[in-house]
Chain A
Amino acid sequence: MTYVGASIPGRNNRRSAAGAATYVDDIRPDGCLVMAVVRSPHAHARIRSVDTSAGHDLDGVALVLTGEELRDAGIAIHPSGTNVNFTPRTAVRHVLAVDKVRYVGEPVAAVVARDYVTARAAAQAVLVAYETLPALGDARAALKPGAVLVEESWPDNVMVDYPIARGDADAVLAATPPSGRTSGTLVCNRVAATPLEGRGIIADYNPYDETMTCWASTQAPHVLRALLSAALSFPEGNLRVIQPQVGGAFGGKIPMFPEDVITAYASRRLGRPVKWIEQRDEYLSAGGHSRDMRCDYEVAFEPDGRITALKAGLLADVGAQSTFLGWLMAIVSAACMPGSYVVDHVSIRLRAVVSNRGPWQAYRGYGKEVAAFFMERILDDVARAAGLGRDAVRTRNFISPSHFPFVQPSGWVTDSGDYQGTLEAVQELIGWDDFPARQAAARADGRYLGIGIGHELTPEGSSRPDALLNGTDSATVKMTPRGDVTVLTGVTSPGSGNETGIAQIVAECLGADLDRVRVLQGDTQSAPHGNGNYSSRSLTFGGSSARLAALVIREKLEIVAGRMLNADRADLEVTGHRIRSRASGQSVTFDEVAAEIYRKPHGRHMAGIDPALEATRAFKIDNVYHRKDEDGRYNQYPTWSFSTGACIVEVTPETGDVRIEKFALVHDCGVVVNPLLAEAQLHGAIMQGIGASLYEEIVYDDDAIPQTPTLREYTLPGIRESVDIVLGHRSTPSPFTFMGMKGVGESGISAPGPAIASAIDDALADFGVRMTTMPFTPARVWAAIQTARSAGRGE
């Protein structure tokens, strides 16, 4: 039976579709109290006083916490971890604001009460006196000389200044005639992942045995346990974190949040369970955003489209810093340029700047989508300036398959790929060659159709040095006395169904019947240590770890079965939960071998054999360099999936409305374990990519006040906005993983932005419109057309 490569429906489908899954808010421990958070209404203000008395006095209120109490109790998050290539400015983080608030939504105080309504009322009764300070509405304001400081211990608002250089871009640009140069500015919008289920945690401290159990809608229970233990100075071994069903995460639930620490602290103080469930408006202001980056670029190119030099200034508005680690996405954006393309002379300077916007939190794409938007728009600009086809310019500059592993100017090592392969395949799928005739016919009819392409590089398996989110994971495989298989993994599922893929890998490697393999995840008490779910690594790391453990069990089963069958191991065939001697044709089932091992440990087939039918193994991936080597290699991404997207859009010039007629994506994530689940991931990622391209933007005004506080303003695409998606698969296996898997969880989120921009430009070629700022809202497209018209372009 071959399970790997089979489209097996996700094991979580039935309970999710039935509404029978248990999410964190469905868990109701006896005597559970509820926490509400008092949040800053100001973008930047000094806290003069916090008067909690009116909150305390309400009936049903158990506790009111302030930043001062937590600080005095020694609760603070200290900078940790080391970074290679750059040094970020850091500061101690308080989970409840001390002295001042730095963004709208920052936690200032917390109230614990018998129910949510009481907690909410008490939170409203807490009186905070603020003295407002000038607020920095964005990164450019934060960079101005004399700008107010968000972090008062820093000399300015720059958190990271990270230069990347290869060759001499300035010299090449200076030596290139104007006809061989182009430049521009690109802006990527601030967005929020917005999972259906918000954040949430229950902490239950037991004062009698001094243990604490937390149920959290998190991506990484073990990591949360370690971080909570450090934050609270609570013994890690006495702390248990359980991840119930998670209703979507997309990076947005990588630990740790201030509310996690506050909830756990409150439970310990009260000796009672305390629950915090995020409200949607809390999420949109304080749950963490991403992207929000601009790029000023200059490129030099040859007449044939070959790019000879790239100079880019990247400015990331990472917002005010909290306990989140989202700011690292800015590093990924910079380090993934030029990405899929060979450019000999590169000069990139990233400045990540703090402002009074909200902090960043990881989101699917993790900065790679920003790099893809910038690079693909630059490639389109070169095509326009050189008078070449958009596809031809990509073909001219792609890293060729023979040049892998390829060292990026950042030192990151791209493992393998065939970018021309996905480009050609997607052109075929979208009907690239036939389109110009269709476009011309539609144009004659007064309709504006356009076609566009966008290539994305999606490095996966993020393995940071000196961090718990690193290049390994572990799994346990065990067999019961009656022959059933249980797999416990350190990776978790955010609802994506990776447990199904892991079960397929284990069944395949063990020779087991898939129906008898059960995968359990998300409980620090039972699962071996692991980093949870992020960076599309659940199969490459979790599946590979489970495979190693399964092979240990298989070896033991084979030895004992061989003795039972009087056969050599080499003669055995293992499939369908049965071990058969090819020579004799006789066989034993796994059930019989398990019974032999468990029931007759002193029997004649067990001499010299440790009777444990349980193994834990950790897969440590190759192609990770945590010390810069002599070739400049420093690499935290072992595998590099990629895709090329293409789309056809129709633009209505009177309104600026953009409708996607068809979206095609050909992806390459190496070997696919479960095509059905891989496609489900791609469909979701593409829709999120389309959402950020056309509909979604977290907007702040000049005073850093959120303008999109609810889902009425933060407009997410719904079913009406969903589009016809056509997928194609290719496979260039990674040389560094089991079977060549690369990871597929993020693929597809980056290509829509540049592909849609490219298609809009194409549709509006008469006007010479170039979409440079995401999202491409009707108002922006319309404004671009007006600008073109007033410059005399278009009809």
Chain B
Amino acid sequence: MPASFAAPRTLPELLTELDGEATILAGGMTIMPLLNRGIGRAGKIVSLSGIPALRGIARSGDSVRFGAMATHSEIASDPIVAEHVPILATAAAGIGDVQVRNRGTIGGVAAYGNAGADYVTALTALGARVVVASRRGSREVAFDRFVLGLRRTDLARDEVIVAVEVPSTSGGRTAFERYFRVQGAAPTITAAAVLMPDRGRLAVGGATPTPVIVELGREFDLAATLDAVDEACAGRPFGDAHNPAPYRRAMARNFAARVLRHAREEQPC
């Protein structure tokens, strides 16, 4: 039984609750199954559900700012997202099932950094930044530096993700691919390509503990890019019972090829 449960209404109130012992409850789609199985600390639960400042999706200069509590359903159907970061809408729409999408949040996914998770790969390719706060102050971290390893992120126990900022891909070409076995289970491979006029990036998740990143110039050689993906997968193998590492590695290459092909075929938006 939790010794305490808090549902603060404001960000300052929230930060005073974050004492390093608290377990943060956002949508609960990851933490609740863990707590139900007796995994994780259940002594002090702090819910983010009552804090309006953590909600919402809005333009912020050349970026889109997602409140940490923005749900997958909101992201999948938001017109700003559709216009400025359409692959994030695609990624959001493929997660779990409708119940999960109605509760699960972008902040929650970012906080756990699961290998191959739809947003983890998409946000990596998009060059997103994570806004993190604590009593000690707030900081911004590039998403690809925020995810440190398999389910390991650069989030201290007294910190909370406040927002995720994603540069607009307006004027670029983007694509997202998800390969999965059964609806509702974690995807086997996710791949995202962002081809901007001045830069490009490919991210592939699911074959390695953290996404493989390949920076792409204005022009890039497909074969060399795929070889780079393959090499990166070989160095950091990741697999499980149904999808062993060699298979994931081969699929990483496959889906990297697909997502790059699709992105090239896209009309710039």
Q: Which residues of A contact B (CB under 8 A)?
A: 117-118, 120-121, 124, 279, 281, 654-656, 695, 697, 699, 707-708, 710, 712-713, 715-721, 777-779, 782-783, 786
- Min CB distance B260 to A, Å, is 15
Q: A717 and B182 in contact (CB under 8 A), knowing A121-B1, A779-B247?
A: yes
- Min CB distance B42 to A, Å, is 9
Contact call A279/B181, Cβ cutoff below 8 A: no
Closest 7 CB pairs of A and B: A699-B241, A779-B247, A720-B183, A707-B241, A715-B182, A117-B1, A715-B185
Residue B218 interfacial (CB < 8 Å): no
Contact call B38/A124, Cβ cutoff below 8 A: yes
Q: CB within 8 Å of A: which of B232-269?
A: 240-244, 246-247, 250-251, 254
Supply 19 further A-B pairs (C-beta < 8 A) apart from A654-B254, A779-B242, A783-B247: A117-B1, A121-B1, A279-B37, A697-B241, A697-B242, A699-B242, A710-B37, A712-B186, A713-B242, A715-B242, A716-B182, A718-B97, A718-B184, A720-B182, A720-B183, A721-B182, A777-B242, A777-B243, A783-B246
The answer for the CA separation of A718 and B181 in the assembled complex, in Å, is 11
- Min CB distance A607 to B, Å, is 68
- Min CB distance A262 to B, Å, is 19
Residue B179 interfacial (CB < 8 Å): yes
- Taking CB as reference atom, which chain A residue is nearest B185? A715
- Min CB distance A719 to B, Å, is 7
Q: A707, A719, A782: which contacts B247 (Cβ < 8 A)?
A: A782
Contact call A721/B242, Cβ cutoff below 8 A: no
Residue B137 interfacial (CB < 8 Å): no
Residue B20 interfacial (CB < 8 Å): no
Q: What residues of B have a CB within 8 angstroms of the CB of A716 in the complex?
A: 182
Interface centre among B242, B246, B247 (most CB of A within 10 A): B242
The answer for the CA separation of A699 and B242 in the assembled complex, in Å, is 9
Can you list 25 A-B contacts with CB-CB less than 8 angstroms, sorted by A residue number?
A120-B38, A124-B38, A654-B254, A655-B179, A697-B242, A699-B242, A707-B240, A710-B33, A710-B37, A712-B185, A712-B186, A713-B240, A713-B241, A715-B242, A717-B182, A718-B183, A719-B183, A720-B182, A777-B243, A778-B181, A778-B247, A779-B242, A779-B243, A779-B244, A779-B247
Q: CB within 8 Å of A: which of B206-243?
A: 240-243
The answer for the CA separation of A717 and B33 in the assembled complex, in Å, is 20
- Min CB distance B180 to A, Å, is 9
The answer for the CA separation of A718 and B237 in the assembled complex, in Å, is 29
The answer for the CA separation of A710 and B185 in the assembled complex, in Å, is 11
- Min CB distance B132 to A, Å, is 27
Residue B36 interfacial (CB < 8 Å): yes
The answer for the CA separation of A401 and B73 in the assembled complex, in Å, is 59
The answer for the CA separation of A124 and B183 in the assembled complex, in Å, is 33
The answer for the CA separation of A425 and B243 in the assembled complex, in Å, is 38
Q: What residues of B have a CB within 8 angstroms of the CB of A715 in the complex?
A: 181-182, 185, 242
The answer for the CA separation of A721 and B38 in the assembled complex, in Å, is 31
The answer for the CA separation of A118 and B42 in the assembled complex, in Å, is 13
- Min CB distance A277 to B, Å, is 13
- Taking CB as reference atom, which chain A residue is nearest B242? A777
Q: What residues of A have a CB within 8 angstroms of the CB of B37 in the complex?
A: 279, 281, 710
- Min CB distance B39 to A, Å, is 10
Q: CB within 8 Å of A: which of B18-53?
A: 33, 36-38
- Taking CB as reference atom, which chain A residue is nearest B254? A654
Q: What residues of A have a CB within 8 angstroms of the CB of B243 in the complex?
A: 777-779
The answer for the CA separation of A717 and B250 in the assembled complex, in Å, is 24
Q: A117, A118, A699, A718: which contacts B182 (Cβ < 8 A)?
A: A718
Q: What residues of A have a CB within 8 angstroms of the CB of B179 in the complex?
A: 655
- Min CB distance B35 to A, Å, is 10
- Min CB distance B97 to A, Å, is 8
- Min CB distance A75 to B, Å, is 27
- Taking CB as reference atom, which chain A residue is nearest B1? A117
The answer for the CA separation of A64 and B59 in the assembled complex, in Å, is 58
- Taking CB as reference atom, which chain A residue is nearest B183? A720
Contact call A279/B182, Cβ cutoff below 8 A: no
- Taking CB as reference atom, which chain A residue is nearest B33? A710
The answer for the CA separation of A385 and B183 in the assembled complex, in Å, is 39
The answer for the CA separation of A716 and B246 in the assembled complex, in Å, is 23
Contact call B242/A279, Cβ cutoff below 8 A: no
The answer for the CA separation of A721 and B184 in the assembled complex, in Å, is 11
Q: A118 and B1 in contact (CB under 8 A), knowing A708-B241, A779-B242, A779-B247?
A: yes
Q: What residues of B have a CB within 8 angstroms of the CB of A121 in the complex?
A: 1
Q: What residues of A have a CB within 8 angstroms of the CB of B250 in the complex?
A: 782, 786
Q: What residues of B have a CB within 8 angstroms of the CB of A120 in the complex?
A: 38
Q: What residues of B have a CB within 8 angstroms of the CB of A783 in the complex?
A: 246-247
The answer for the CA separation of A786 and B247 in the assembled complex, in Å, is 10
Q: What residues of B have a CB within 8 angstroms of the CB of A710 in the complex?
A: 33, 37
Contact with A along B173-213 (1 / 0, CB 8 A): 00000010111111010000000000000000000000000
Q: What residues of A have a CB within 8 angstroms of the CB of B246 in the complex?
A: 783
- Min CB distance A775 to B, Å, is 9
- Taking CB as reference atom, which chain B residue is nearest A124? B38
- Min CB distance B33 to A, Å, is 7
The answer for the CA separation of A271 and B23 in the assembled complex, in Å, is 39
Q: What residues of A have a CB within 8 angstroms of the CB of B97 in the complex?
A: 718
Q: A699, A708, A777: which contacts B181 (Cβ < 8 A)?
A: A777
- Min CB distance B19 to A, Å, is 22
Contact call A279/B241, Cβ cutoff below 8 A: no
Contact call B182/A695, Cβ cutoff below 8 A: yes
Q: What residues of B have a CB within 8 angstroms of the CB of A654 in the complex?
A: 254
Contact call A695/B181, Cβ cutoff below 8 A: yes
The answer for the CA separation of A120 and B38 in the assembled complex, in Å, is 8
The answer for the CA separation of A17 and B250 in the assembled complex, in Å, is 44
- Min CB distance B229 to A, Å, is 15
The answer for the CA separation of A717 and B182 in the assembled complex, in Å, is 6
The answer for the CA separation of A109 and B183 in the assembled complex, in Å, is 37
Contact call A279/B247, Cβ cutoff below 8 A: no
Q: What residues of B have a CB within 8 angstroms of the CB of A697 in the complex?
A: 241-242
- Taking CB as reference atom, which chain A residue is nearest B239? A779
- Taking CB as reference atom, which chain B residue is nearest A60? B1
The answer for the CA separation of A786 and B251 in the assembled complex, in Å, is 13
- Taking CB as reference atom, which chain A residue is nearest B255? A655
- Min CB distance B226 to A, Å, is 13
- Taking CB as reference atom, which chain B residue is nearest A782? B247
- Taking CB as reference atom, which chain B residue is nearest A775? B242
Contact with A along B75-108 (1 / 0, CB 8 A): 0000000000000000000000100000000000
Contact call A721/B183, Cβ cutoff below 8 A: yes
The answer for the CA separation of A745 and B183 in the assembled complex, in Å, is 27
Contact call A655/B251, Cβ cutoff below 8 A: yes
Q: A655, A713, A718: which contacts B254 (Cβ < 8 A)?
A: A655
The answer for the CA separation of A786 and B36 in the assembled complex, in Å, is 41
- Taking CB as reference atom, which chain B residue is nearest A720? B183
Q: CB within 8 Å of A: which of B112-134?
A: none
The answer for the CA separation of A316 and B97 in the assembled complex, in Å, is 37
The answer for the CA separation of A120 and B35 in the assembled complex, in Å, is 11
The answer for the CA separation of A171 and B28 in the assembled complex, in Å, is 65
The answer for the CA separation of A719 and B184 in the assembled complex, in Å, is 11
Q: What residues of A have a CB within 8 angstroms of the CB of B183 in the complex?
A: 718-721
- Min CB distance A36 to B, Å, is 10
Q: What residues of A have a CB within 8 angstroms of the CB of B38 in the complex?
A: 120, 124
Q: What residues of B have a CB within 8 angstroms of the CB of A656 in the complex?
A: 247
The answer for the CA separation of A721 and B246 in the assembled complex, in Å, is 25
Q: What residues of B have a CB within 8 angstroms of the CB of A713 in the complex?
A: 185, 240-242
- Taking CB as reference atom, which chain A residue is nearest B244? A779
Q: What residues of A have a CB within 8 angstroms of the CB of B251 in the complex?
A: 655
The answer for the CA separation of A718 and B242 in the assembled complex, in Å, is 17
Q: What residues of A have a CB within 8 angstroms of the CB of B240 in the complex?
A: 707, 713
Q: What residues of B have a CB within 8 angstroms of the CB of A118 in the complex?
A: 1
- Min CB distance A701 to B, Å, is 8
The answer for the CA separation of A279 and B35 in the assembled complex, in Å, is 13
- Min CB distance A744 to B, Å, is 28
